[in-house]
Every structure is written in structure tokens, then in C-alpha cells.
Amino acid sequence: MTSAIYWFRQDLRLLDNPALNRAIENVSALLPVYCLPQQERNVWLAQRVGQHRQAFLHQAVTGLKKQLRSSGSDLLSLSGNAVTALIELATKLHIQDIFCEDIAAPEEQAEIDALRRAGLRVTTVWQSSLLDPVDLPFSMDQLPPVFTRFRHDVEKAQCLPPPPLPAPTKLPPLPDMALSGWDQNTPSLVACEEPRSAFPYHLAAYNGSELAGLAHVKQYFESDLPQRYKLTRNGLIGTDYSTKFSPWLATGALSARHLFVHLRQHERQFGANDSTYWIWFELLWRDYFRFLHLQYGSALYRPNGLAPSASSNKHSVIRFQRWCEGNTGEPLVDAGMRELAASGYMSNRMRQIVASYLVHDLGCDYRAGAAWFEHQLVDYDPYSNQGNWLYGAGLGTDPRGGRRFNPDKQTREHDADGLYRARWSTP
Ligand SMILES: Cc1cc2nc3c(=O)[nH]c(=O)nc-3n(C[C@H](O)[C@H](O)[C@H](O)COP(=O)(O)OP(=O)(O)OC[C@H]3O[C@@H](n4cnc5c(N)ncnc54)[C@H](O)[C@@H]3O)c2cc1C
């Protein structure tokens, strides 16, 4: 009979959570814990978690706590440094085992190393990708360096995601005295009401909880939007041009494998076409950046990424600041940066345009841009963020990355009527 801590990280859900299931199978008492993100500044002077991400995360954690309570358990939220807080908690409760998901990004790996060095037994389970790495037709050190080849190899081998696990109906009881003596008041955070937002998370339908995420998936695949996804995905305005799954995927409130089941159901009911295929295609991009982390780890975070030599860019704090403020003088880029600051979200097309502008036009360090996105995005995800920034800067594995997006051409192709620039002409 053992007691353990389940540490929720980027997996704030009960449905399809293999790491949580592993814990449930192995213990007699379980204390679910979430560590609130710390608010230190990074080397680029951006606070790690800005107001939008904080508020969206708060919604996810509040929803999770409610679900855990209705399954006979609860959620303890800890503040301060996650490693220190977990060690203190485990010591106080005489617990030796921690279960959690595996995250292949360097800071998250360092947390696990530190817990193990402190004598805790930490069981990690890889679970955030659509495909299981063990099902891939190549070993991780043979991961194709170019996305297209990765996708072809996966499709040729007919590699499919494992079926999602059901949510546990009942959770083990809490260890004795687990919640007494701990401050249970998480600061309440108000979602910013931004009526122009393409991801209006202040509305119930876009709330960060798992239940709102599941409802969004259901209504999205019951609509005809997936039938047109490939034609609309480069849109800039509104909630419907793309799936808007990313914020829930990033907190882990949704599992990619659950999405896949609904995608296939939609195809059976409404028919498969280029657009429904393209949703799978984009989810494979998400996996590809995860697998690159499994292969290269901290090398992806070097100043020159995976490139053999350093970039010739000379970072400018002033140019970077102007970019963050939406004050570069390039109207499309400035509109995008205002959208990001006001709403915590930005379309994929605009992310590509503003990232290219920072690196290729303003000559700044890609890591500063990645840090600003980490601060702002409600869907911040270390794998997709680092992977896309490296790809755009031409410092990843794929030689076709690193192309400059010409702002004039992008404006003509994506905002010819000026509606997007007008919408975000003010902060
Ligand atoms: C510089 C830059 C930084 C980015 N940072 C992030 C990030 O921190 N978190 C994040 O989730 N995405 C990031 N992306 C990828 C992409 O822009 C978002 O996933 C997408 O815009 C989210 O909206 P959606 O869910 O409506 O996407 P859809 O177009 O509907 O796509 C469906 C899903 O496919 C996946 N996907 C789509 N495009 C990509 C892509 N290029 N890379 C990886 N996965 C993708 C996402 O999980 C997305 O939810 C970044 C892209 C760029 C260019």
C-alpha cells in the first residue's frame, strides 16, 4: 500500500492520461498536485507567463480541480519553485513516489533530474504526441531531418495513434492529512475581455477547462468547418478559420489522440477530403517538433540552434522592443503584434510573418522572439514554439526553413482589403 503524488504538468485532463492511469494502477492513495508557474523574468526580460496565459491556465486548473473533486479526489496547487515545493510536500507527507508526464524540453527534464537527486522516485510517462514513438517506422536517432520525409515514412508504414484511454471513473483517496496546512487559495485571475479576439477565452465556449475543450472538439467536428479547413486555415480574423485546438492542446486539457478519433468520425460521416487530411497533416507537424526534442534535446536551444555556425544577426534591444510593442512601422506586422498583446492568440500565418520580420528584417535573435511568444501565447508549447522559431530562422533540421516572408506580398495575399490592419490599428 503506497501513497504517491501525481504532478499535473502540461496534461491538465483526465481523459486519455496514461501517466495518471499508471499512478492509479500502482498506488493506494494519491495526491494530485499542480505547481503554479513562477513569475520570474527570462534573459530577454519577458515575464515567463503573461496575463493571458496565466488566466487561461487558471481556467484549466480550476476545471481540473472540479473534475477531480467529483471523482472523489482533489487538486493541491503549489506556488514557488516547483522542485522545491514538491520536495517539501513529499518530505512533509513521507511520500517517496511522484508520477507525471515526460516532457522532453531541457528545463522540464532538469526538474525531473533535481527531484531524483533529492531521493524521490519519479515515474515519467511519454504521452503528449499523437503517435507513440514506439510505433514509428524508425528509431528516434534516425528521425528524418525533413518534415515531408517524416510524414511520408509515417504514412507509408500506416502508423496510427493508439486509442485514447477513458477517464478514470474513481480516483484513489487522498493520503492522510494531505491538504491540511497548505494554502488552498489560488489567486483568482480574470480573463481579458477582448471582443476582437480570434480565441475569445473570456467566453464559456473557449474556457480553458477540459470540459470546454471537449465540447469545442465535438461542435467543431459536428460542423462543416473541417470540410473547408485547408481553404480557410490561412485566415486572420474570427474563430472559425482554423480549429482553435492549440490552447487546450498546449495545457494538455485536450489529448491529440482524442482529436484524431473525432477527425475519423467526421470523415466517416461527412466524407474525407483534402481539408480533413490537412488537420492530420498539421497534427503531424506538432508531433514532428516533439520528436525533434526527443532526438536533439537541449541542442535545439543553442543560440545557433542546430546550424553549424552562429547566425550573423546582431540583436538590437531597441528593435526588439519596437517589435514587441507593435511599433515597427510595418503595418501588417504591427497589427499582428497588437493582436498578440491584446488577445494572447495569433493565427499561424501572422506568426510566420512577424517571426520572419523579427529575424530576417530586424536582424534580431530568434530566442528573443520565442521568449516573447512564451510570455504572450495562450497556446504556448515549448516544442511547437521552439521548433517553429528555429524552422523560420533557418536554424533547424530542414534546409527549406529560414525563408523570408515579404511583408508587402503577404499583405496583398492575406489582407488586401485592409480589414485585419484596421481591426488591430489600436492596442
Ligand atoms: C513562430 C511560431 C511560433 C509558434 N508557437 C506555437 C506554440 O507556442 N504553440 C502552438 O501550439 N503552436 C505554435 N505555433 C504553431 C501554429 O501557429 C499554432 O499551432 C496554430 O496557429 C494554432 O491555431 P489552431 O489550433 O487553430 O491551428 P490549426 O491550423 O487549426 O491546426 C490544428 C493543430 O495542428 C497543430 N499545428 C498547426 N500548425 C502547426 C505548426 N506550424 N507547428 C506545430 N503544430 C501545428 C496545432 O496543434 C493546431 O492546434 C507556432 C508557429 C509559429 C510560426
pLDDT by residue (tens digit) across 166-175? 999 999 999 9
Q: Residue 308 corresponds to which cell in the numbers above?
A: 553549424
Assess whether 7 and 113 both reside in one domain: yes
How far apart are the CA of 379 and the centre of ligand 1, in A? 8
- The residue from 127, 143, 174 where one domain ends is 127
- The residue from 270, 298, 326 where one domain ends is 298
Q: Is residue 263 part of a domain?
A: yes
Assess whether 365 and 223 both reside in one domain: no
How far apart are the CA of 4 and the centre of ligand 1, in A? 35
Assess whether 135 and 281 both reside in one domain: yes
What are the CA-CA distances from residue 63 to residues 67, 148, 211, 246, 272 (Å)? 6, 38, 8, 18, 34
**Which of 379, 386, 389, 391 has most ligand 1 atoms within 8 Å of its beta carbon, as the pocket-test mutant?**
379
Residue whose C-alpha cell is 511568444: 373
Q: Which amino acid is at 320?
A: F
pLDDT, mean over the chain: 95
Mean pLDDT over 8-13 rounds to: 98
Q: Which atom of ligand 1 is nearest to the CA of 347?
A: 21
Of 98, 93, 101, nearest in space to 120 by CA: 98
**Which of 234, 286, 386, 400 has most ligand 1 atoms within 8 Å of its beta carbon, as the pocket-test mutant?**
286
Q: Is residue 179 part of a domain?
A: no
Of 336, 60, 325, 333, nearest in space to 198 by CA: 336
Whichever domain contains 348, its CATH number is 1.10.579.10
Assess whether 82 and 67 both reside in one domain: yes
Q: Which atom of ligand 1 is nearest to the CA of 380?
A: 8
How far apart are the CA of 363 and the centre of ligand 1, in A? 24
Instruction: Check pLDDT > 90 for residue 39.
Output: no
Taking CA atoms only, the protein residue closest to ligand 1 atom 19 is 246
Instruction: List all residues 6 or more positions away from 312 whose beta carbon is below 8 Å from its beta carbon.
Output: none
Assess whether 279 and 359 both reside in one domain: no
How far apart are the CA of 384 and the centre of ligand 1, in A? 7
Assess whether 278 and 419 both reside in one domain: no
pLDDT tens, 329-340?
999 999 999 999
Decide: helix, strand or coil at residue 47. strand
Mean pLDDT over 60-77 rounds to: 95
Whichever domain contains 158, its CATH number is 1.25.40.80
- Beta-sheet strand order (sheet of 76-78): 76-78, 29-35, 3-8, 97-101, 121-125
Q: Residue 393 corresponds to which cell in the numbers above?
A: 530562422
Q: Is the CB of 22 under 6 A from ligand 1?
A: no
**Residue 274 is part of which domain span?**
129-162+208-298
Band (pLDDT 50/70/90 cuts) for residue 1 is low
C-alpha to C-alpha distance for 82 and 60, rounded to whole angstroms: 18
Q: Residue 218 corresponds to which cell in the numbers above?
A: 465535438
Assess whether 271 and 318 both reside in one domain: no
Assess whether 336 and 393 both reside in one domain: yes
Q: How many domains does the chain have?
A: 3
Assess whether 379 and 336 both reside in one domain: yes
Mean pLDDT over 193-214 rounds to: 97
Q: Residue 139 corresponds to which cell in the numbers above?
A: 528509431
- The residue from 263, 298, 333 where one domain ends is 298
Q: Exposed, middle or buried: residue 184 (CB in 10 Å: 0-12, 13-18, 19+)?
A: exposed
How far apart are the CA of 182 and the centre of ligand 1, in A? 37
In which element (H, E) is residue 124 found? Answer: strand 121-125
